[in-house]
């Protein structure tokens, strides 16, 4: 028995903190989703399949040595870019957007893969470059990032393209992007805001921003989602209305309960206490990632863990800020909770890579 245990310890790479907390989050997600989908068994079975498959995938992804990802990151990126290009031409069109590739048993949102592949590639690319990152490398990587982001933006998918942009920028930032560069870029960004407002934003996107500023201006139109979401959250109170008792969710007042607004359902049914419990699990995962980044074995691992964990953090934050009405409504799922296979799988892969990096020590460190 003891030998067998040691054997497993030596041959199997797993970070039990992350694995347990992510499994816990996934199971909670299924429970929440059951209520949010108003007891739709089909949804739950499908999602359960993704969760089980995702956990398995995470386990598999965490087995190879990080060097495997470092050496093959370009292949992964190219592979996922090809998928995005295929999607652009042959993707399934839903509501005027081509984001999905129909694989028969499952429709894949290809841009979700780039979300992981890009930071890994950038970290690998910067692995043997002098750091802090120099101007030349900054520009080459920026051009690459913007090209890829634009590829997703024209699908169109503003939410995902933004998150890809953020993921890429995190790596640059962590790689030591000079503060002066950041300051100048930020200044240019602020100055070009009116230009972006007028030329890059669709009317409905502008409306969403305006709605955020004054949701009561049109409570039954553009303000409906956010108004109902706030009512759902607020009426949950301290203890919530009880599982499956949320009237806002169950009587269809709340939109998109299974995806973007699932947090509102949780807040309505489990109250502030439930919200705090959920947030502490997220917090635990993030702090664990911070710890792992500190103890990462090399620069590639550091940058990757840092970048992917910040990607995770940003996604969670954007979703939550959106449903409580701090930022405009953008399509952004709550990781491991919201319905949707692609986003779920991309995060399992991301954490699989993080676990791989956390568990494989360099020979000299062993």
Partner 1 sequence: MIDLNERFSEKRNFFNRLVFVYVFFGVLFLYLIYKTFSLQISSYSDYELASLENKTREFLVQPRRGIIYDRNGEIIVNNKPSYNMILDPENVDDINELIFEINKFVNLSDAEIKNINNIFPNKKKLNREVVLKRNLTTEEIAKFEVRNYRFPDIQIAERYSRENLYPYLFSHSIGYVGNLDEEKLQEILSSQELESNETIFTYSNGFLNGKTGIEYVYDEKLRGLFGKKIYEVDASGRLLQEKQMIPAVAGEDIFTSLDLPSQKVAYDELNNRRGAVVAVDINDGSIVTYVSSPSFSVNKIANGLTQNEFDELINDDDKPFFDRAAQGRYSPASTIKPAIGLFGIDKDILDWEYTIQDPGYFILPEDGRIYRGWKKGGHGEINLKDAIIESSNTFFFSLAYQTEIEELRAHLSNFGFGKNVCDDCFMPDNGLLPSPRWKMNTHNFGWFKGDTVNVGVGQGYINATPIQLAYYSAFLATKGNINKFSFVQDNKNVDKNIFNSKNIKNIDWDNIHESMIGVIESPKGTAGRLRSLKDYVIAAKSGTVELVSTETKEDYQIIRETEGKRDHAIIIAFAPMPNPKYAISVVIENGESGGSVAGPVAVAVLNSLVKND
Residues forming the site for partner 1 (CB under 8 A):
131-132, 170, 173-176, 228, 230-238, 247-248, 251-253, 267, 271-272, 275-276, 279, 283, 286, 290, 293-294, 299, 302-303, 306, 310, 313-314, 317, 320-321, 324-326
The enclosing H or E element of 184 equals helix 179-191
- 97-102 sheet: strands from edge to edge: 92-94, 97-102, 107-109
Our CB check for partner 1 shows the closer of 270 and 347 to be 270
User: Closest distance between partner 1 and the C-beta of residue 310, in Å?
Assistant: 6
Our CB check for partner 1 shows the closer of 81 and 310 to be 310
User: Closest distance between partner 1 and the C-beta of residue 17, in Å?
Assistant: 17
Our CB check for partner 1 shows the closer of 63 and 321 to be 321
Helix/strand/coil (H/E/C) assignment for every residue in 116-155: HHHHHHHHHHCCCCCCCCCHHHHHHHHHHHHHHHHHHHCC
Our CB check for partner 1 shows the closer of 21 and 257 to be 257
Neighbours of 330 (CB within 10 A): 17
Our CB check for partner 1 shows the closer of 51 and 318 to be 318
User: Closest distance between partner 1 and the C-beta of residue 57, in Å?
Assistant: 26
User: Closest distance between partner 1 and the C-beta of residue 51, in Å?
Assistant: 25
Please give the structure tokens belonging to residue 262. Answer: 């699932």
8 A C-beta contact, residue 157 and residue 112:
no
Residue with tokens 């690998």: 124
CA separation, residue 180 to residues 21, 135, 193 (Å): 39, 11, 20
């Amino acid at each position: 028995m003891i030998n067998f245990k040691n054997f497993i310890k030596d041959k199997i790479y797993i970070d039990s903190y992350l694995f347990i907390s992510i499994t816990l989050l996934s199971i909670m997600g299924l429970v929440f989703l059951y209520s949010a989908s108003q007891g739709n068994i089909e949804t739950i079975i499908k999602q359960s399949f993704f969760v089980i498959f995702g956990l398995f995938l995470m386990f598999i992804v965490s087995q190879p040595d990080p060097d495997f990802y470092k050496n093959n990151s370009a292949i992964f990126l190219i592979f996922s870019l090809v998928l995005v290009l295929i999607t652009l031409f042959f993707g399934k069109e839903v509501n005027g957007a081509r984001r999905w590739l129909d694989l028969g048993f499952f429709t894949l949102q290809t841009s979700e893969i780039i979300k992981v592949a890009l930071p890994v590639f950038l970290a690998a690319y910067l692995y043997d470059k002098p750091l802090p990152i120099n101007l030349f490398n900054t520009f080459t990587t920026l051009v690459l990032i913007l090209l890829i982001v634009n590829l997703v933006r024209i699908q169109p998918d503003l939410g995902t393209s933004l998150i890809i942009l953020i993921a890429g920028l995190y790596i640059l930032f962590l790689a030591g992007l000079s503060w002066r560069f950041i300051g100048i870029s930020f200044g240019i960004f602020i100055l070009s805001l009116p230009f972006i407002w007028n030329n890059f934003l669709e009317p409905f996107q502008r409306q969403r921003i305006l709605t955020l500023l004054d949701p009561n201006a049109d409570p039954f139109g553009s303000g409906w989602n956010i108004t109902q979401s706030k009512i759902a959250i607020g009426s949950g109170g301290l203890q919530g209305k009880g599982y499956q008792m949320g009237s806002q969710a169950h009587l269809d007042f709340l939109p998109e309960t299974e995806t973007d607004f699932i947090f509102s359902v949780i807040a309505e049914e489990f109250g502030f206490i439930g919200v705090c419990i959920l947030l502490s699990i997220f917090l635990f995962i993030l702090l664990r990632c911070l710890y792992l980044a500190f103890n990462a074995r090399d620069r590639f691992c550091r940058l990757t863990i840092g970048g992917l964990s910040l990607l995770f953090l940003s996604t969670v934050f954007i979703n939550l800020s959106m449903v409580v009405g701090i930022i405009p409504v953008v399509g952004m799922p709550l990781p491991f909770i919201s319905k949707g296979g692609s986003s779920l799988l991309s995060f399992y892969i991301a954490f699989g890579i993080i676990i791989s990096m956390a568990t494989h020590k360099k020979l000299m460190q062993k």
